[in-house]
């Protein structure tokens, strides 16, 4: 009986310790959050502040009461949360989202006037936000934006602000220089959402330069059949990246149609790659626009070739590829495509 009592005591002790560990774990988890505390200086009540993050799929809101609002969300990883208010929607009839960078669980204070919008707010409590605002101020005044960006990333490579800046403002620098700066980021930032985008864009730019071989790909057509770029080897190919919602893309279609009608069957083909996330919108646009050439839709998310293989950052973006697969021109607009084909195919 004595031995049995000892065993029971040990079991009870283990159970208690396990319970304490679980409580501590839950307590620690509960503390892993970001709290945004707002002070509204002009309109004390009557409107709502909205927070969202499309990368994480997070949305939340808080009513402004007595000139204050508060929103708390779980911390997952460094990211940027976007804000707007119902004042923007009801009074201004639209909004430009305002972003705040966070890199760890923290409390962020926001002081603003709703009538002026979040863009004039004062944010405190977030180190990466303070750094990025400092950079934005310098870029607004500075002449050589590329040099300012390179200096900033080099000086603050350990900060999430550096990865965010290199991702969002990378067009100020050539791909080779961005690669050098990217290599200075710690592994955790290189593996972040922004870090992966930076790497994909660099890879895409270096791999899709005029004079280089067009990166290969296989995508689905509107009938869900696989189509590869390799199938068109031996022809001149106009590779056009577009989307159903893209106005400038639609403006280019009459020029592409004219060139296609003129040179179809004469060793020339057009491949349109849609970056639409909405498959139905893509199919509807194909029908409405009566596009007669090969039409494909890009892969979703990280597998999209538009970014990872062709570094597409704006729409439309296009490439003219020769029969050997070499890129010979980029972003031919208006009648430029037909004129280029006149030289090549006549």
Report pLDDT digits (tens) over 16-51: 555 555 444 444 444 699 999 999 999 989 899 999
Is 59 within 8 Å of 84 (Cβ atoms)? Answer: no
pLDDT at residue 66, as a whole number: 95
Supply the pTM of this predicted model.
0.75
Instruction: Say which CATH number the domain at 284 has.
Output: 3.40.30.10
Rg (CA), the chain: 27
Among candidate residues 96, 124, 152, the one where a domain is terminated: 124
Angle between helices 160-168 and 145-155 (to 10 degrees): 160
pLDDT at residue 95, as a whole number: 80
258 and 324 in a single domain? The answer is yes
Is 249 within 8 Å of 315 (Cβ atoms)? Answer: yes
CA angle 177/175/316 to nearest 5° reads: 150
Residue 16 lies in a domain: no
335 and 225 in a single domain? The answer is yes
**69 - beta bridge partners?**
38
Instruction: Say which CATH number the domain at 110 has.
Output: 2.60.40.10
Among candidate residues 158, 182, 207, the one where a domain is terminated: 207
241 and 140 in a single domain? The answer is no
Distance CA 338, CA 220 (A): 27
Report how far apart the first and last C-alpha atoms of the chain are (Å, whole number): 103
51 and 107 in a single domain? The answer is yes
104 and 35 in a single domain? The answer is yes
139 and 91 in a single domain? The answer is no
Among candidate residues 105, 124, 143, the one where a domain is terminated: 124
Is 164 within 8 Å of 189 (Cβ atoms)? Answer: no
Residue 294 lies in a domain: yes
145 and 160 in a single domain? The answer is yes
Range of the domain at 48: 31-124
Share of the chain above pLDDT 70, in %: 91
| Mean pLDDT value across the chain | 91
Q: What is the dihedral of CA 103, 109, 114, 115, to 10 degrees?
A: -90
For 79-136, the pLDDT digits (tens) are 999 999 999 888 888 788 899 999 999 999 999 999 998 989 999 999 999 999 999 9
pLDDT at residue 96, as a whole number: 83
227 and 331 in a single domain? The answer is yes
Residue 229 CB neighbour total at 10 angstroms: 21
Q: What are phi and psi of 6, to 5 degrees?
A: -60, -45
Of residues 162 and 29, which shows the higher confidence score? 162
Segment 267-278 mean pLDDT = 96
Number of domains into which the chain is organized: 3
Residue 22 lies in a domain: no
Residue 77 lies in a domain: yes
Is 87 within 8 Å of 43 (Cβ atoms)? Answer: yes
102 and 117 in a single domain? The answer is yes
338 and 236 in a single domain? The answer is yes
């Amino acid at each position: 009986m004595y031995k049995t009592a000892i065993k029971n005591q040990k079991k009870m002790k283990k159970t208690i310790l396990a319970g304490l560990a679980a409580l501590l774990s839950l307590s620690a988890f509960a503390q892993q959050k970001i709290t945004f505390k707002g002070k509204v200086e002009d309109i004390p009540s009557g409107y709502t502040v909205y927070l969202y993050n499309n990368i994480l799929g997070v949305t939340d809101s808080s009513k402004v009461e007595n000139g204050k609002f508060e929103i708390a969300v779980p911390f997952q990883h460094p990211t940027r949360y976007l804000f707007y208010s119902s004042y923007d929607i009801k009074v201004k009839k639209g909004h430009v989202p305002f972003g705040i960078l966070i890199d760890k669980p923290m409390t962020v204070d926001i002081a603003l006037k709703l009538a002026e919008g979040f863009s004039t707010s004062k944010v405190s409590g977030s180190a990466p936000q303070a750094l990025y605002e400092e950079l934005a101020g310098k870029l607004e005044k500075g002449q050589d934006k590329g040099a300012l960006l390179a200096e900033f990333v080099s000086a603050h490579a350990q900060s999430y602000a550096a990865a965010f800046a290199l991702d969002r403002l990378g067009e100020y620098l050539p791909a080779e220089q961005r690669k050098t700066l990217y290599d200075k980021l710690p592994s955790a930032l290189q593996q972040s959402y922004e870090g992966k985008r930076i790497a994909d864009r660099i890879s895409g730019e270096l791999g899709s330069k005029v004079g280089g071989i067009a990166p290969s790909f296989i995508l689905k057509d509107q009938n869900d059949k696989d189509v590869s770029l390799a199938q068109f080897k031996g022809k001149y190919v106009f590779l056009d990246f577009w989307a159903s919602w893209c106005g400038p893309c639609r403006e280019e279609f009459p020029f592409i149609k004219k060139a296609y009608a003129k040179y179809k069957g004469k060793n020339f083909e057009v491949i349109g790659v849609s970056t639409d996330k909405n498959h139905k919108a893509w199919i509807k646009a194909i029908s409405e626009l009566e596009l007669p050439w090969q039409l494909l839709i890009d892969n979703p998310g990280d597998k999209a070739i538009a970014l990872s293989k062709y570094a597409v950052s704006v729409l439309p973006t296009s490439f003219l590829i020769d029969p050997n697969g070499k890129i010979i021109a980029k972003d031919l607009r208006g009648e430029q495509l037909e004129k280029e084909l006149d030289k090549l195919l006549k």
